[in-house]
Amino acid sequence: MSDNRPILVVNGPNLNLLGTRQPEIYGSTTLADIENLCRGTAADLGRKVECFQSNHEGAIIDRIHAARGTVAGLVMNAGAYTHTSVAIRDAVLAAELPLIEVHLSNVHAREPFRHVSYLADIAVAVISGLGPDGYVAAIRHLVARET
C-alpha cells in the first residue's frame, strides 16, 4: 500500500542562487525550476512534495523536526552543511524519516573537504552529479521503496 503523505524536499545554503551561482558547476537551472521538476515528478507518481530552502542551519533543523510523522520521506541537498553539520544529521535521525542525499555536482570530483558527508551513512541513498535529475531519481526511489 502506498503512503499518501507528501515527500519533503529540503535545500540548504546558497541553493537559492542556483541559475546564477557558478553555472559552470551547478548549471543554469534555478531552484524554482528544480522545485517545479520535483512537483511534476511527484504528480506523475500520484504524490505531492513540499519544498523548503534555507540558508540557516536552525531553520533547516526546525523544518526537519516539523516533518516527523507528517511526510513519507526526505530528499535533501544540504549544500555545505552536508560536510559540517552534526546538528542536521541528528535532526534527520530524530525525525526517523528515510533520507536520500542529493548533490547537483559530483562532490567526489571536487575539493577534498566535499568528499566527507555527515549524512551519507544514515541515508537510504546518495545521488551525486546528476544535476536536477538527481532529485527526480530520489523522489522515484522513495516512492518505489513503499511498494
Spatial contact of 14 and 21, defined as CB atoms under 8 Å apart:
yes
Any catalytic annotation for residue 103?
yes
Q: Which residue of the set 81, 103, 118, 135 is catalytic?
A: 103
Alpha carbon dihedral 21, 26, 31, 33, in 10-degree steps, equals 130
Q: Report d(CA 36, CA 46) in Å as an integer.
A: 15
Any catalytic annotation for residue 26?
yes
Spatial contact of 56 and 10, defined as CB atoms under 8 Å apart:
no
Q: Which residue of the set 26, 81, 118, 135 is catalytic?
A: 26
- The catalytic residues are 26, 103
